A = this chain, B = another copy of it.
Amino acid sequence: MPEDQFDVIVLGAGPAGEVASGRLADAGLEVALVERHLVGGECSFYGCMPSKALLRPAQALAEVARIPGAAEAVTGTLDAAAALARRDEVIHDLDDSAQLPWIEERGITLLRGVATLDGEKAIVLDDGRRLTARRAIVLAVGSRAALPPIDGLAEAVPWTNREITTAKAVPASLVVIGGGPIGAEMAQAWRTLGAEVTLLEVADRLLLKEEPFASAQVTEASEALGVTVRTGVRIVRVERDADTGPVRVVLEGEETVEAAELLVAAGRHVPLDDLGLVTVGVKPDARGFVEVEDTMRVPGRDWLYAIGDMNGRALLTHMGKYQARIAADDILGRPTSVRLDGARSPRVTFTEPQVAAVGWTLDGALEAGLQARAVDVATSGNAGGSFYGRNAPGTARLVIDDGRGLVVGATITGADVQDFLQAATIAVVGEVPLDVLWHAVPAFPTRSEIWLRLLEKAGL
């Protein structure tokens, strides 16, 4: 077979790989993009997108129920079949052809297949073709659900994010192992669609990486929806008679939770066995994550980049896309590097209440040695809250670094607060001093007046 050459070869056409390819192609480079499954990636088909389609109907109806004049018009109930049909529309029935024009318009060469690194700046495809890169290879192969080492779990053929987001029917009952963002979202979503749901978390609270009040509010709201939430559990083993029979999760003390289906949402890993990293002398960590510098380069390999989930920095679509822009700019010779990444990345859990956060939590800031304190207000405790998210649980917190007079973290919980986050992200990333934020007047009557109340509490 002939050897094909490109300026840059990108492995993986998820959000990170697509953004990197697009930005490089827009700058005039010749780009090959290799994908083994679906162009658009885990997020588009098995993650953020279908999950939001499943969560949104109940949240919208909950909001309408808070609005006299509109509430009276809702006399029916959530239509699970319509929600599932919309989900299918959002994921294009697992057909990625809608993504292809975007790639073609940019002159990107899309190659379907499995790629393996084959020494410096080279890959081989499973059809035998060998490709070389003049400038760089960008790895963006994403992550997969990890199965924790629980006796009988693998044999029980549990659902992962792939099956839970694409299920064609509502299971009668569902048990979820893992109370992080995916587990918490899916427990609520499928409960509102009609399933009996039990959510199991080994730690003593859900959403362990977020502020404790967020965990408490999501737990309470989940229970109000009818989800059975169990934290601090010890899972002894999983039993299933056949692939399709009911599954039993056995807890310490031989207590059993039985359900029609089991979702495992207990972390992610990167199955890199076949990526050929060994041919270029790169060794991932135990979970398969590849270490990178702030330019997204693999240390010591000036032609190799790893972006998105697979570098383990921040397993979030928008952060993968951000890292893609950074990597592309570095390849293009534009000076750049990530500013806010890792645990402090902006993040939204789309539960009821939503949890939108950026930067440090209070505990995180204190552990990092900052001279930090927190100020809190009720997200709907203002005039705007008379109209939006009324009486829904919700807290807005700023974490303030008194040493520098800056906001270094924010967590906002509440109904429909996903777009509140950007203001906090700009304040944190822009390092806008508190006494300047004081002049950024929130409009009345909007819930954004949380800013006013928070800054007053901070002493302004």
Contact = CB atoms under 8 A, between A and B. Distances in A.
A63 B316 CA distance: 27
A61 B73 contact: yes
A318 B430 CA distance: 24
A98 interface: no
A49 interface: yes
Interface residues of A, number: 83
Contact of A436 (B67, B74, B430): B430
Interface string A287-325: 000000000000000000000000000001111011000
A64 B61 contact: yes
Contacts of A420: 419, 422
Tell me the number of copies of this protein: 2
Contact of A446 (B72, B418, B447): B418
Nearest to A54: B69
A442 B416 CA distance: 15
A129 to B, nearest CB: 33
A147 interface: no
B340 A441 contact: yes
Given A90-B386, A340-B441, A430-B427, A79 B85 contact: no
Nearest to A447: B419
A333 to B, nearest CB: 16
Contact of A426 (B53, B63, B82, B426): B426
A52 to B, nearest CB: 5
Given A419-B446, A422-B451, A444-B321, A70 B60 contact: yes
Interface stretch (A30-38, A138-146, A343-351): A343-351
B416 A443 contact: no
A74 B60 CA distance: 11
A72 to B, nearest CB: 4
A345 to B, nearest CB: 7
A173 B57 CA distance: 35
A14 to B, nearest CB: 12
A338 B440 CA distance: 10
A140 B79 CA distance: 52
Contact of A57 (B58, B68, B432, B437): B68
Contacts of A437: 426, 429-430
